Structure 1
Amino acid sequence: MSTTVREVVVAQLRARGMTTVFGNPGSTELPMFRDFPNDFHYVLGLQESVVLGMADGYAQATGSAALVNLHSAAGVGHAMGNLFTAWRNRTPLVVTAGQQARSLLVGEPFLMNDRATELPRPYVKWSCEPARAQDVPAALARAFHVAMTPPRGPVFLSIPVDDWDRPADPGFDPNPRPLGATMRPDPYLAEALRSALDAAERPVIVVGAEVDRDHAFDEVVALAERHQARVWAAPLSPRCGFPEDHPLFAGFLPAARGPLREALTGHDLVLVLGAPAFTFHVEDEGPLLPPECSLFQVVEDADTAAWTPLGTSLVGGVRATVAEILTRSSPAPRPTPPPRERLPRVSDDVLTEALLLQTLADERPDASIVVEEAPTTRVAMQARLPFVRPESFFTCASGGLGHGMPAAVGVALARPAQPVVALLGDGSSMYSIQALWSAAREGVPVTFVVVDNGGYAALDGFAERFRISKPVGTSVTGIDYAGLARDMGCTGLTVRWPDELVSALRQAFASTVPTLLHVHVH
C-alpha cells in the first residue's frame, strides 16, 4: 500500500515536534485533517488574524516554528495584519493555506487563489505552491529551515486540496536534518569593536529584541558591567533585552531623532545590540548622533545592517559576538554612571494608568509573562512595571493592532507553568476579541487587563504633532468588555474604583480559567 502525502507530512511534523496546529479551516483544508492524529492538538481561532496571533505568541515562547493553517485567499487576507506583525517580530511560522484542486486550476473555480504565492508577499521569507503533489513534504521541510534560519520569520505554502491523498515520493525521508543557525561576525570587525569599546571613555549600549531572541541576556549584562556602560532599550523594542531594575539601565530611547540624540549626548561610543539604528516614528532633523560619537552595531539581518546610515555594522548573532568580546575585552576602570531616577509611588486616590501599572507590578506573580498591546499605557508601563528577566515581555513590533490578545493565548499554551498577563487597550482589544473564546476553549488562565480610557487615546496625543485638537474616529465607548468575556466563556470583572483593583487582580491570578478585568481609568 502506498503512503500518501498526508501521512508523510504527519510523520514529518511529528518528528519536528510540530504537533500543535493553529487554524481556522475551510473546505479546501479539510483533507489535510482526515484521520487527525490523536497526539496532535488543533487550536481553533474564530478569525484568521486571531489564528496568526496565537501562533506568533506560541512560536516566540517556544523558540521554534509553529504551524498555521488558513483558508485559501480570503483566509490569508484576513490574517495579513498579524502576518505583517510576525514578519516584524521575526517569528518563525510555517503558514499553509488550501488551494482548489489542480484539475480545476485551468479555469477560475470558486475559492481559487489566483496568485497564491504573491498574496502574502512581501511579509514572508519564502512563498511556494509545489509543482507536484509529491513535492509537498520536501517543500514543507524547506519551509521549516527557511523559517528557522536567522533572521527568522514566516514562510508560506499553498497546497491544492487534492494533493493530500496522492501517493508520496517513496524516497523522501521525513526525519529532520540538523539545522545549524549560529551566526558569527567577521573576526576583523569583532576585533575592531572590542578595541573601540575598550578605548572608549563613556560607552553606551542600546539593546533590542535580538538580545532576548538569541538568549544573550546574561552576556549583555556582563558586558555592560565590565564596561560600566549605561544601557538603553532601543526605540519601540518588542522584547526585554536588559533587566530594567539594574543600576546601569537608563530607560527607553524615544523614536524621534532629536530626542534620541539628546539622550545619547555625553557618550563617545554607541553599541547597538540586536536592533536597527534606529527605528523612528516621527520625522525630525539634524545628525543621528551627538558630535564625536561613533557607532557600532551587531545585528543578525544583513538588510538591517545595510540601511544603517553610519558607523560599523557586524552581521552575526548577538550572543556569539558578545561572548567573543567578553573573552578578550579589558577596559580601563571607569566610574559607575549615576542610576536612573526613580519615580515616587502614586497615591490610590484616583484609578489612573499609573496606579494600575504600579499595582500590577506589586501583585503579579514573580514568574509571570506580560504580553502588551496598550499604546497609550506604554509610558506608564515603562515607568511603573519593570521587566527583569529574559522572555518575560512580548509586544507587537509592527505597530499594528489585534496581536496582543491572541498572542497572550499562544504564549500561555507554550508556557503552562507561567502566569500570563495580557495588558490591552480598549480600542485594540476589539481587533481580535474572538481570542477570548479560544482562551476559554483551551482553558488557559490568562489574565486579560483591558485599560478603558474611552477610545484610541494614543492618536489623540499624536494628533498634537499635526496641530489637530481632536482627530475624528478615536472615540470608543459603550462596550462592556467584562460582559463580552463572560459571553465567550471567560470570567469577566469590572473595576471602576481604586479600592477594587487589588482584589480583582488577586482573584484573576488565583483563577484556573481565563479572566478579563475591565479597568476604567481616569
Structure 2
Amino acid sequence: MTNATTVREAVVRFLRDTGMTTVFGNPGSTELRMFRDWPDDFTYVLGLQESVAVGMAAGHALGTRRAAFVSLHSAGGVGHALGAVFNAFRDRVPLVIVAGQQARSLIQLRPFLGADEPALFPRPYVKYARQPERAEDVPAVLAEAYRLAMTPPRGPAFVSVPEDDWDRPAEPVAPRTLYSEFTAAPAALAALAARLENCARPALVVGPGVADEDAQEPVRALAERIRAGVWISPLSGRSGFPEPHPLFQGFLPPVARQLAERLAPYDLVVALGAPLFTYHVADGGPPLAPGTELFHLDCDPAQAAWLPTGTSIVTTLRPALTQLLGLLREPHRAPPPPRPAPPPAGAAGHITPELVFDLLHTRLPRDRVLVEEAPSHRDTLHARVPIASSGGFLTTGSGALGWGLPLAVGRALADRRRVVCVVGDGSALYAVQALWTAARHTAPVTYVLLDNGGYAAVRALGRRIGVAPVPGTHIAGIDFPALAESLGCPAARAEHPGELPAALDHALDRGDDAGPFLLHLAMTDGADTLYEPWAR
C-alpha cells in the first residue's frame, strides 16, 4: 500500500494533464494536506479574500480559454466566494472549485470548520456540486467536474474534499477527449434562413455567448451577408461584435418597454448567445413590439425554456452560423445607417467621464483588454470607447460587485499583456485586496479609478424612483493612492482636466513587465447620466 498512488498525487497528475497548473486560492486548515510536496511546476496565486481568488481565476480562464482551478476553505471560504461564483455562473466562466472539508471521522460530530451539506451550499450557481462518497472517488469526481465545467454552456463546478482524503490511495484518472460543439437540426436552420431571406428589416442581438464560443467572425459575416443592424444584449458581460463596424447600432437597455421600442423597427430579430430579456428596472412593458419576430440561438436549453416569446434553436454558435451562411443568398436590401458618434467632450472645470473616455479611446491600443466595473459611467464608456477586438471587453453580466479588480489580475496573468481596468470607487472597495496580488505577481494591469464619492449608481436610481436621499451610499475620506501603495501597487492622482492627458499617458504607457499601476481620478457625481441613454 505504501507504493500506491494517493488522492493528492492522482489529482496533481490530472491538473497537470489538463493544464490547470495555476491554482487560485486562499489556504485554510482543511486544505493543508493537498499542499504536501507541492510541485515545482505549479503556481499558487494567493487572493487575500476568497471572492478575489475566484475573480482572478475567472479572468485567467477567460484569457486562456481553459478551466481554471480554485481552492477554497470549507464553508466559510465558500460563503465568502459565492458572490464571485454567482458572477462566474451567469457569465459562463469554466472553473473547477475544490473546497476543503473536515475529516470524515469528524463530520457526524458537526466539527469546527465543518461544512453541513457542502454539495447544496453553492447551488444553484454551479453546474455541478458533489462531495465524493469515498476518498478513492475524488480524482474521478474531479475529472467529471472538469468535463462539465468545459461543456457548453460552460460554468463553475464544485467538489468538496474531506481533509483526510488526500493521503488515501486512489487510481489516477486520465483526461478524456471532449468534443463539445453540437448543431441544430438542418430543418431548423433552413427555416431561419428562409425567414432571413424574406424579411424586410433584420437585426442581430449579440450576447456574451458569442465571445464565449469565439464566434465573433461568423457573426460579423452573417451581419454583412444579410445587412442587419447589430445590437449588444442588455448588460452583456463581454464584447461579441466589432463596435466600430458601420452595422453596429449600440447597446440594448435593460428595461422592457425601452428594449421593445429599440427593436420595434425590425420585423425579424435573431438573438445569438444572448439572454435577450435581461431587465434591471421593471416597467410592465412587453418583451417585443407587435410585428417583431424573434429567433434565439444558444447552447443552453434552460435559457431557451424561460424566454417568454420567440423560436429557440438550441445549438452551439460556430457550426450553426457556418451552416446558416451556406444557406443564405445576398439580399436586395439596404444596410441600416451607422449610429452617430457622440460629440467630443466639452470643456469643464472638473474631470468628467466623457473627457476621461475620449482620452482613453485615443490611447488604448487595439489589442488591449478593457475590464469595466464602473456602473455609474458604463453607458458613457460604451458610447466613447468602442471595442474592436474579440474578447476585448470584460465586465460582470450579473451585477455582483467586486469582480473587476481581480478579474483584471487573472486576465493579465493569462498572457502577460497589459489590461486596462476602469473601476468605480464603490466597486473597488469590494475587492481592493486584488491590488496586493497584482503587485506580488507583477501583473500588468492599469487601474483607472473614477472616484465620485460612493455608490452613485444607487443614488441615481433612487432619484429616478423617488427615493432620495438613499442612506448608506456616500463614501468619503479614503486615500486610494495611499491605499494602493500600501498594498504594493504604485499610484498617482489627477484632480483637474489639464492634468489628465499626461496622467493617462503615464498610467497606460507602461511595459507588460512593469506590474500594476493605479490612477485615481477625482470625479463629480456623474451618475445622473445613469439610465439617461436608455430613456432616449
TM-score by length of 1: 0.98
Residues in 1 aligned to 2:480 and 2:268: alpha-carbon distance in whole angstroms: 48
Alignment map for 1:151-166 (pairs within 5 Å): 151-166=153-168
CA distance in structure 2 between the partners assigned to 1:262 and 1:109 by the alignment: 57
Mapped partners of 1:239, 1:485: distance in 2:
27
AA at the equivalent of 2:336: P
Partner of 2:293: 294
Deviations 1:460-504 (A, max 9, x none): 211133212321111011111111110000111111111222222
Work out whether 1:273 is the aligned partner of 2:272.
yes
- 1:117 is matched with 119
Q: Does 1:407 align with 2:407?
A: yes
Which amino acid counterpart does residue 466 of structure 2 have in structure 1? R
Distance 2:10 2:261 in 1: 58
CA distance in 1, matches of 2:347, 2:451: 18
Corresponding pairs, count: 518
3-state SS of the aligned residue for 2:506? helix
3-state SS in 1 of match to 2:179: coil
Residue number in structure 2 paired with 1:510: 509
Give the superposition deviation at 1:397: 1.2
Question: Does structure 1 retain, via aligned residues, the 8 Å contact 2:420–2:447?
Answer: yes
Counterpart Cα distance in 2 of 1:273 and 1:464: 34
Q: Which residue of 2 aligns with 1:193?
A: 192
CA shift digits 1:302-356 (9 cap, x unpaired): 0110111111100011222111110110143111211101111113543101101
Inter-partner Cα distance in structure 1 for 2:412 and 2:286: 43
How far, CA to CA, are the matches of 1:112 and 1:16 in structure 2?
A: 30
What are the residue-to-residue correspondences of 1:340-489 with 2, within 5 Å? 340-349=339-348, 350-416=350-416, 418-489=417-488
Is the CA contact 2:205–2:276 (under 8 Å) kept in the aligned structure 1?
A: no
Q: Aligned partners of 1:145, 1:129: CA distance in 2, in Å?
A: 16
Contact 1:186 1:315 in 2 (8 A): no
Q: Which residue of 1 aligns with 2:530?
A: none
Counterparts of 1:120 and 1:234 in 2: how far apart (Å)?
Answer: 27
Q: Is the 8 A contact 1:100 1:113 kept in 2?
A: yes
What's the counterpart of residue 56 of structure 2?
54
The answer to whether the 8 A contact 2:190-2:327 is kept is no
Structure 1: tracts of 5 or more residues without a match: none
Distance, in Å, in 1 between the alignment partners of 2:260 and 2:331 is: 26
**Contact 1:367 1:419 (8 Å CA) reproduced:** no
Following the alignment from structure 1 to structure 2, what is the Cα–Cα distance between the partners of residues 289 and 398? 22
8 A contact 1:365–1:419 mirrored in 2: no
Alignment check: 8 A CA contact 1:134 1:168 kept: yes
Please report how far the alpha carbon of residue 423 of structure 1 lies from its aligned counterpart in structure 2 after TM superposition. 0.8
- Preserved contact between residue 263 and residue 292 of structure 2 (Cα < 8 Å): no
Contact 1:130 1:136 in 2 (8 A): yes
The aligned counterpart of 2:169 is: 167
Q: Compute the displacement of 1:265 (Å).
A: 2.0
Matching residue's letter, 1:100? Q
SS at match of 2:165: coil
**Aligned equivalents of 1:147, 1:509: Cα separation in 2:** 35
Distance 2:420 2:205 in 1: 26
The letter for the 1-side match of 2:112 is F
SS in 2 for 1:67: strand
Q: Within 2, Cα distance between the matches of 1:392 and 1:27?
A: 39
1:35-80, Cα deviation, whole Å (9 max, x unpaired): 1100000000011010011011111111111000011010000001
Kindly indicate whether the alpha-carbon contact (under 8 Å) linking 2:366 and 2:389 is maintained by their aligned counterparts in 1: no
User: 2: CA distance between counterparts of 1:347 and 1:337?
Assistant: 29
Quote the residue 2:527 is aligned against.
none
* CA shift for structure 1 position 4: 1.1
Q: Secondary structure at the match of 1:261?
A: helix
- What is the letter of the counterpart of residue 9 of structure 2? E
Question: Is the 2:409–2:438 contact (alpha carbons within 8 Å) kept by the matching residues of 1?
Answer: yes
Moved more, 323-332 or 229-238: 323-332
> C-alpha distance in 1, partners of 2:347/2:358?
10
SS at match of 1:518: strand
What's the Cα RMSD here? 1.1
SS in 2 for 1:46: coil
Tell me which residue corresponds to 2:139: 137
Deviations 1:122-170 (A, max 9, x none): 111111111111111001110100111111110111101111111113x
Partner Cα distance (1:106, 1:306) in 2: 40
Q: Secondary structure at the match of 2:439?
A: helix
Quote the residue 1:31 is aligned against.
33
